[in-house]
Amino acid sequence: MIALFRSRSKLIVAVSVALIGLGCSSDPDSGGADDSSYLGLAPPKDGFQIRSVGADIPVGADVEYCEVGRLPGKSTDTYYVKSFEFGNGVNSHHLIVSAATPGGPIEPKLQALGIGNRIECLSAQTAFGEVGFESVGGSQQPYASIEYPPGVGREYHGGQYVVFDYHYLNTTQETVKARSAVNFHLADAAAIEHIARGFAFTNLTIDTPAGQNGTFTAECHFDADLVLSGLARHTHRWGTDYSVWFAGGPHDGESIWTSRSWEHDVEYEFPEPLLMKAGEGLKFQCSYQNTTSRALRFGTSATDEMCILFGLVWEANAGQTLPSQDCDVNWVDAGGTGHPADEAGGFPMPSASEASICISGRTDTIDECAQCQCDACATPIIKCATDADCQTVLTCLGGCTGDACAQSCIDPHSSALGLLAQMRGCIEYRCPACSTASSGR
């Protein structure tokens, strides 16, 4: 598989913004930064506002763009952010903003594309690369806000590049203007004791047949001590009940939160931030009512579905560097609970007959990697190869060079992404020496 599949589940996708900073805007229709309100956001007196240039979305279009923006100020300016506000245009499927690490591998790519310019994308990560992004936040609604607990915030720098990833489905009879804005509310450095970061637990195995209901359970664990402050659900419009429990530790099995609405009940804040020890985690369950004539699987289109648990955490100990806690669920045990590839005994080995079928179906050279992939991962490989969408993507990718070509293969068949990610997860776990080759890099 190709690198384009990587980290789409880290769906904290960045909304590309063009800088308006201190009163200048690359959008002639947006007005200056001293406007009383833009998309419902008044420019903050304790910070700054940035806006996207945006795009015209034709009638019936289902399109996602990644647009480059930049924070105001010089590289020597450090901003400690205590809260965000997000303004989002009508008919938006999602807006997610990501920031590029200063001096990191993403920065030259964004600089080359240019502030205010955009490309079609599946996410900021798939458009520009996985390594070197961190989430800012986002919204599925016209307005959303993130407020951190006292003493907790995020750190950014003047001139730092950001990406606005905006996805629109225009169901109206007129062209829609994709627009977005973000308010950064700042705090004094002395007021910030902990730097927050987000995580995403993503169940890639969801698959609800046409006209039926489905419920899918998954479990992920933290690999470091950390403090957990809040949670957020993410499904599309067919999502119904969504529940979260503790997994492991002294509260194992205890209910945390049940949400009944994918639109209006999407966030949970713990009464007090909670210490979670390494090895403890969360179980989450997504339910769906599929009123369509096709299966609903994990994919990036507005006509696909998702099952993601987002959360806000920070370091538990002074001087601790907290690694990413993102988790991709890509296999399901006999009891119906999904796990990441390296948990609960690891991605299960296929039967001998499955491995034999996999080898006999290979049209490439049966080298050491091909043998390992079939011996260890025949089950998800066969599942992908016998699925119409997944097989079509694989065939298309066989003639591809570069991410632009790969995206053109995936766009019409985005519901195959879950199956492709399951296959990739198994290969990276069971055949790590072959994972680079299998990613298309």
What's the pLDDT band for 8 if we cut at 50, 70, 90?
Answer: very low
The pLDDT value recorded for residue 435 is 67
**Residues near 306 by Cβ (< 8 Å), separated by ≥ 6?**
11, 202, 206, 234, 235, 236, 298, 299
**Would you identify the CATH topology of the domain 197-339?**
Jelly Rolls (2.60.120)
192-231 residue pLDDT tens: 999 998 899 999 999 999 999 999 999 999 999 999 999 9
Domains 3-191 and 197-339 share a fold: yes
Specify burial of residue 103 (Cβ count, 10 A radius: 0-12, 13-18, 19+): exposed
119-150 residue pLDDT tens: 998 889 888 987 788 889 888 889 989 899 99
Angstrom distance (rounded) from CA 78 to CA 81? 10
Tokens of 326: 């993102």
The pLDDT value recorded for residue 28 is 30
What's the pLDDT band for 318 if we cut at 50, 70, 90?
Answer: confident
Indicate the pTM of the whole model: 0.79
What are the boundaries of each domain within the chain? Answer: 3-191, 197-339, 352-438
Other Cβ atoms less than 10 A from the Cβ of 388: the count is: 10
Angstrom distance (rounded) from CA 124 to CA 128? 6
The closest of 180, 166, 143 to 96, measured between CA atoms, is 166
Angstrom distance (rounded) from CA 401 to CA 273? 47
At the top level of CATH, the class of 3-191 is mainly beta
